[in-house]
Amino acid sequence: MSDVVSPLAPDAFPTLPPIAGVQLATHAAGIKYEGRADLFLASVAEGTVVAGTFTRSLCPSAPVDWCRRVLSDGNRTARAVVCNSGNANAFTGQAGSTAAALTAQTIADALGASPDEIFLASTGVIGETLPEEAMREGLPKLAEKLGTSSPDGWEQSAAAICTTDTYAKGAYRRIDGCAAHIVGIAKGSGMIAPDMATMLAFVFTDAAVEPGLLQRCLDKSVERSFNRITVDSDTSTSDTVLLFATGEQIDDDFTTDDDPRLPALQQALDTVLLDLAHQIVRDGEGATKFVEVTVTGAADDTAAKTIGLAIANSPLVKTAIAAEDANWGRIVMAVGKSGEAADRDKLEIWIGPEQVTAQGMVFPGYSEERATAHLQQNEVKISVDVGVGGGHAKVWTCDLTHGYIEINAGYRS
Amino acid sequence: MSDVVSPLAPDAFPTLPPIAGVQLATHAAGIKYEGRADLFLASVAEGTVVAGTFTRSLCPSAPVDWCRRVLSDGNRTARAVVCNSGNANAFTGQAGSTAAALTAQTIADALGASPDEIFLASTGVIGETLPEEAMREGLPKLAEKLGTSSPDGWEQSAAAICTTDTYAKGAYRRIDGCAAHIVGIAKGSGMIAPDMATMLAFVFTDAAVEPGLLQRCLDKSVERSFNRITVDSDTSTSDTVLLFATGEQIDDDFTTDDDPRLPALQQALDTVLLDLAHQIVRDGEGATKFVEVTVTGAADDTAAKTIGLAIANSPLVKTAIAAEDANWGRIVMAVGKSGEAADRDKLEIWIGPEQVTAQGMVFPGYSEERATAHLQQNEVKISVDVGVGGGHAKVWTCDLTHGYIEINAGYRS
């Protein structure tokens, strides 16, 4: 992790409760970093159900290939997830697949499980083979260290999966109306920093959920959280979100889409994933502003999201926000380039509470001074109504600063 | 124009020959800049045929609306193009349309033409109304200054349309096998800098070309040139390319697609537009490297272009090039995110003459030292073969540096 912590970081790592049926371990295997843990293992109770979503990259990493293959074979039960930092095991050819299989086999042997119950993730440099010796020695030691999922254990786990992150990321929510919990940890700094690749999240609940239902809940939450953040528009080879339901806290399974408790489960999951997603944006490379973009009046919700991401991905909008410059012409530009229907002559833009435009031109009472005052805060809100329909969406990003160039134009050492 | 000239600028403005039937004028009207020309007028002989392509932005400027309306009314003859710099006349509501109509009427009156024969462009700040007084006083003086299209006249014209450009841009080509010429001038610094909006090109030939044929030739050349460059992926409200064919040099019209002279015309036009497009990239905001991306082995040419632009638009690829860092994992990432078919296990990447990857992993003989040596030059070549078909494309971009942030995070003053 970086020595300089993001100015947008939370005050402290949250206190995450134990999740029944989950045990944690970390270990310093010396894969790339000196003097810090770089292996993370969570074992989960027998019968744990798993769901996953992965990068859309057509050049995915070997661990992504592994997890996809296991899930597409219909295997929806898990015994563990293991993750290393410092090496993405991406674009490593046959050696990469072999290393992934070896990792799964080693952990499966230690736990008395099948390799197809072991889920994998790797994050770090692309194109370098995983150091076999370090993995071969480190993995059994990692497995020996498994212990209860304590608050300290969660924090150490969240730290072990970091690369260029400036702080460890965790989130927690109790499922309203039942005794179960959801805990998640994540890494990511820059939506995407593919040579430090990249966004990972591991989420655990001690509720019991039927596999298909668990996957649907996860897909919905990811669409509302991780799919609505951007730092630099680049997509990694390794993005992975895994959700494990141990069922160790409550016996009464969630099995159907009309379970009256389901909205509470979905809401808790949404909250945890959105919290983690926001923490990733707040750790965006070089970020000094956390930016929420709200789009209303679009043709539909999908169009609203596209317009929101056009604004949130625009280097010109993001550099203007970095400079605390109320350069709203760039927001007009981004709406125009999104390709989605927008009525230029009804377009309304707000910077924070300040209305900037109306009816295709600057709003009569617009005060650049007030807009600038809003931009001088750490938390910036941009709202746009494009005047054609009822679609709406929120997306989140950070500003684009010299810090981003500094981090990414630096050598890989 | 900026005081500091791009390190990638040509040594000098080229010597552009007169084009028969074209007269030029520039004037300092004080629209925004002090002590420099900010109005440009080219009058063209009666009977001149015009073709145009425009921004795909859904929030286009008033001059773009004007030109589109004139052309879609079926008017394919022109008498003049007039352009101001310092103000984009974009997002200015009814006042913007009124200012555009007034500009066309004033120039039409001076030339004894119809307003629908006057083509318009504006480039500069978005959202501010064109200063009526400066335009009302300046336009008649501009028209009075019309004189032959001399080499000096071309250079002054190219300078008058600049905003944040660091040098004036012109290009010239004789049409092989006939006595006619093509001359073009352009502005643009940053593919897009929408508050200094943005890419304009005015191109003139003294050949005679049938209107539909002229438009088809222009569409083809734009697709091969301006549509294949990117500085920052942002799309302006004002992009305009206008091509005028006076027919004053040769009487024998180009009228059909099977005219044996047509390939020479197309090639000359391609050359002029590609030259101007490259000059815009070389003046990219903060650029220190000119980058050519070649994609082969794609499903088709369109897929190849999409992959090329995914690489050329990636902030992570562009910051790595700025740092002269052979961080090829970022190229893998960009190919993967393009959404186009690519065979990870056949992907070949070259940095200059150095082969980096083969068969889904690093190439056995790859030398990072040699790849770095190539990146230390001003002109960088990245080649990618994605191993699925025969589609190929070239696109051009520049690196992403602190200079880009410096320019775009600065205030608008």
Which tens digits make up the pLDDT trace of B344-375?
Answer: 889 999 999 999 999 888 999 999 999 999 99
CATH 3.10.20.340 positions along chain A are 290-408
For residue B97, what are its two tokens?
A: 């349309």
Q: For residues B152-160, give the mean pLDDT.
A: 96
At residue B241, φ and ψ (nearest 5 deg) are -125, 120
Q: B196 falls in which pLDDT band (50, 70, 90)? A: very low
CB A204 within 8 A of CB A246: yes
Is the predicted pLDDT of residue B192 greater than 60, yes or no? no
The model carries a pTM of: 0.80
Q: Is B21 helix (H, G, I), strand (E, B) or coil?
A: coil
Is the predicted pLDDT of residue B204 greater than 60, yes or no? yes
Tell me the nearest-neighbour CA distance from A400 into chain B, angstroms.
Answer: 8
Please report the ipTM that was assigned to this predicted complex. 0.72
* Eight-state DSSP code of residue A117: G
pLDDT given for residue B283 in this prediction:
86
Q: Are B58 and A336 within 8 A, CB to CB?
A: yes
Q: Are A408 and B125 within 8 A, CB to CB?
A: no
CATH of domain A22-282: 3.60.70.12
> Does the CB of B339 have a partner CB in chain A at under 8 Å?
yes
> Does the CB of B364 have a partner CB in chain A at under 8 Å?
no
B223: left (phi over 0), alpha (psi -120 to 50) or beta: alpha
Q: For residues A344-353, give the mean pLDDT.
A: 93
Segment 139-168 of chain A within 8 Å of chain B by CB: none
CATH superfamily of B290-408: ArgJ beta chain, C-terminal domain (3.10.20.340)
Tell me the nearest-neighbour CA distance from A303 into chain B, angstroms.
Answer: 14
Q: For residues B7-24, give the mean pLDDT.
A: 93
C-alpha B121/C-alpha B129 separation (Å) is 14
Segment 90-119 of chain A within 8 Å of chain B by CB: 90-96
> Does the CB of A125 have a partner CB in chain B at under 8 Å?
yes
Q: Are A402 and B400 within 8 A, CB to CB?
A: no
Using N-to-C axis directions, what is the helix angle for B315-322 and B301-313, rounded to 10°? 60
Interior angle at CA B76, CA B16 and CA B62, nearest 5? 85
For residue A200, what are its two tokens?
A: 């990972």
Q: Is A214 helix (H, G, I), strand (E, B) or coil?
A: helix
B182-196, B296-310, B366-380, range with the lowest pLDDT: B182-196
Q: Are A58 and B325 within 8 A, CB to CB?
A: no
Q: Which of A221, A171, A188 is nearest to A52 (CA)?
A: A221
Q: For residues A350-378, give the mean pLDDT.
A: 94
CB A86 within 8 A of CB A125: yes
Mean model confidence pLDDT for chain A: 89
Is the predicted pLDDT of residue B407 greater than 80, yes or no? no
Is B77 a known active-site residue?
Answer: no
Q: For residues B326-341, give the mean pLDDT.
A: 87
Which tens digits make up the pLDDT trace of A157-197?
Answer: 999 999 888 899 999 999 988 889 999 999 887 544 333 34
pLDDT given for residue A195 in this prediction:
37
CA distances B156 to B109, B160, B198, Å, are: 24, 6, 18
Which tens digits make up the pLDDT trace of A119-158?
Answer: 999 998 888 889 999 999 999 999 999 999 999 999 999 9
Q: Which of A107, A102, A44, A86 is nearest to A249 (CA)?
A: A44
CB A106 within 8 A of CB A130: no
Q: Kindly give, in sequence order, each residue whose CB lies less than 8 Å from that of residue B29, ignoring residues fewer than 6 positions away.
A: B38, B39, B84, B134, B135, B137, B138, B139, B141, B142
Q: Are B127 and A361 within 8 A, CB to CB?
A: yes
Segment 307-326 of chain A within 8 Å of chain B by CB: 313-316, 319-320, 322-323, 325
Q: Is B362 helix (H, G, I), strand (E, B) or coil?
A: strand
Radius of gyration of chain B (CA): 22
At residue B309, φ and ψ (nearest 5 deg) are -70, -30
Q: B237 falls in which pLDDT band (50, 70, 90)? A: low
CB A229 within 8 A of CB A280: yes
CB pairs under 8 A between A and B: 229
**Residue found under tokens 């009804």:** A346
pLDDT given for residue A406 in this prediction:
79
pLDDT given for residue A222 in this prediction:
86
Report chain B residues whose CB lies below 8 A from the CB of A361.
91-93, 95-96, 127
pLDDT given for residue B83 in this prediction:
96
C-alpha B336/C-alpha B393 separation (Å) is 17
> Does the CB of B400 have a partner CB in chain A at under 8 Å?
yes
C-alpha A340/C-alpha B231 separation (Å) is 22
For residue A364, what are its two tokens?
A: 């009569």
pLDDT given for residue A330 in this prediction:
87
CATH 3.60.70.12 positions along chain B are 22-282
Q: Are B333 and A192 within 8 A, CB to CB?
A: yes
Select the more confidently predicted residue: A277 or B38. B38
Chain-centroid distance, C-alpha B412:
23
pLDDT given for residue B194 in this prediction:
34
Q: A231 falls in which pLDDT band (50, 70, 90)? A: low
Which tens digits make up the pLDDT trace of A19-61?
Answer: 999 999 999 999 998 889 999 999 999 999 999 988 877 788 8
CB A314 within 8 A of CB A397: no
Amino acid at B132: E
Q: B1 falls in which pLDDT band (50, 70, 90)? A: low
Neighbouring-strand partners of residue B254: B209
For residue A332, what are its two tokens?
A: 């007009």
Amino acid at A370: R
Q: Which of A105-109, A182-186, A322-326, B331-335 has the highest mean pLDDT?
A: A105-109
Using a pLDDT cut of 70, give the percent of chain A over it.
94
- What is the number of alpha carbons within 13 Å of residue B187 lying toward its C-beta? 35
Report chain B residues whose CB lies below 8 A from the CB of A125.
329
For residue B340, what are its two tokens?
A: 């186009």
C-alpha A120/C-alpha A118 separation (Å) is 7
A32-36, A408-412, B115-119, range with the lowest pLDDT: A408-412
pLDDT given for residue B89 in this prediction:
92
Q: Are A92 and B361 within 8 A, CB to CB?
A: yes
Neighbouring-strand partners of residue A120: A82
Q: Are A315 and B233 within 8 A, CB to CB?
A: yes
Is the predicted pLDDT of residue A357 greater than 80, yes or no? yes
pLDDT given for residue B413 in this prediction:
36
Q: For residues B267-283, give the mean pLDDT.
A: 88
pLDDT given for residue A410 in this prediction:
62
For residue B413, what are its two tokens?
A: 């003053």
Nearest-by-Cβ selection for A361 from B93, B327, B342: B93
Q: Kindly give, in sequence order, each residue whose CB lies less than 8 Å from that of residue B371, ignoring residues fewer than 6 positions away.
A: B326, B328, B351, B352, B354, B356
**Residue found under tokens 């944006």:** A281
Neighbours of B3 (CB within 10 A): 5
pLDDT given for residue B190 in this prediction:
58
